[in-house]
Amino acid sequence: MKILKECFRAETERLRQSWMRHDRGTLRDYLVRDVEDPRINVQSILTRHFLVERLFGERFDLVAEQELRFGLVVNWLLKLLKKSVTVGRLQTVFDALLTGRPDAEGMQIPSYVSETFADLMLPNYICDLLNWVPVETTEAPIPEYLMSTFEAIWSEVLAGEQPQSISVLEPACGSANDYRFIETFGIARLLDYTGFDLCDKNVHNARGMFPHARFEIGNVLEIDADDKAFDYCFVHDLFEHLSIEAAEAAISELCRVTRRDICAGFFNMHVGGEHIVKAVGDYHWNTLSLVRTKAVFERYCSGIQVIHIDEFLTSEFGCADAHNKGAYTFVVSL
Ligand SMILES: C[S@@+](CC[C@H](N)C(=O)[O-])C[C@H]1O[C@@H](n2cnc3c(N)ncnc32)[C@H](O)[C@@H]1O
């Protein structure tokens, strides 16, 4: 432990400074907006499903599939809104969906949108998404009650469930970026969560929002926990910001403190055999090699499922619209 501390001391300090330069308001909001909003971000959705599956096996698979579809539909709509789609245009899309036409006056409707629409009872949230605009503009954000469609569904279907004694660790939790939805979706009360982050402004934000949850200041390069202290672990968007040596040390630490499975999200990975190292200011913005990163986990684990988000969405939903082609999620069994 002491050796590890010594060799990563300078990097730890630089990492801390990289995040501490943001104010608390920015840290609270900037990673939960737009396509990063954990309600519609596929990797965040998969992480919540990882937890629900650890709690209940396959019982809620149907809800989980519908939630992924919801995420895809909202991401598709967000893209249209960014291109300043008109209210009239949305109406033609709506008419096409109602009458089962594949295109709306020349605009192709993705099959995952029409299939999802056809699967839902009428009226459904897609009707609302295309019709909510009270005035002749599409510039206003999608209303919160629509963005939270699956928050309402999950908290209702999980309402009668009893807490279980499973512990979950989230390193680099930011300002409870994912936890805030794990909480409002009704999942947090069913498990024993601990989050930590190097940046104390994040930890203060998280504690301010959730005074009864466990958030600590901590370093993934030297986790303050016994071996196998947690049943499960999940982590998002951390490893690319570390030097390669530190990323390997972080993986080793996660595997040390976790007893069963880890769900790890990467935002910048490629299939090439070498890492592409890019220092940006005081931290990194690396493109990690899939094979090399997987090999590091394999030193410690018994099995690993690699999910390339783009391929997953294409094969499962016929959706070729993933906004980040470099996004991967690993589900690691120790
Ligand atoms: C890109 S943000 C991701 C935050 C959150 N996981 C999410 O996906 O929204 C990276 C986070 O890692 C934290 N971090 C960076 N180095 C760390 C370290 N050595 N130990 C713990 N947290 C670290 C930062 O403070 C920041 O909150």
User: What single string gives the DSSP state of each residue in 210-233?
Assistant: -TTSEEEE-BTTB-SS-TT-EEEE
Distance of CA 133 to the CA centre of its chain: 28
> Which residue segments constitute the domains of the chain, with CATH numbers given?
2-35+150-333 (3.40.50.150), 67-147 (no CATH)
Does the beta carbon of 44 lie inside 6 Å of ligand 1?
A: no
* pLDDT score at 63: 97
* Beta carbon of 43 within 6 Å of any ligand 1 atom: no
Q: What is the pLDDT of residue 132?
A: 67
Percent residues over pLDDT 90 in the chain: 84
Ligand 1 center to residue 223 CA distance, Å? Answer: 14
Q: Could you tell me the distance, in angstroms and rounded to a whole number, from the CA of residue 181 to the centre of ligand 1?
A: 17
* The predicted structure's pLDDT at residue 312: 98
Distance 271 CA to ligand 1 centre (A): 24
Residues listed for the chain:
334
Q: Helix and strand tally (H, E) in the chain?
A: 15, 13
The response to whether residue 202 sits with its C-beta less than 6 Å from ligand 1 reads yes
Position 131 scores a pLDDT of 77
H/E element holding 51? helix 42-56
Ligand 1 centroid distance, CA of 177 (Å) = 10
In 3D space, the residue among 234, 235, 225 whose CA is nearest the CA of residue 257 turns out to be 225
Cβ–ligand 1 distance for 179 under 6 Å, the answer no
Q: Which residues of the chain have pLDDT under 50?
A: 1
- What pLDDT is stored for residue 147 in this prediction? 95
**Residue 202 CA to ligand 1 centre (angstroms):** 9
Q: Evaluate: CB of 247 within 6 angstroms of ligand 1.
A: no
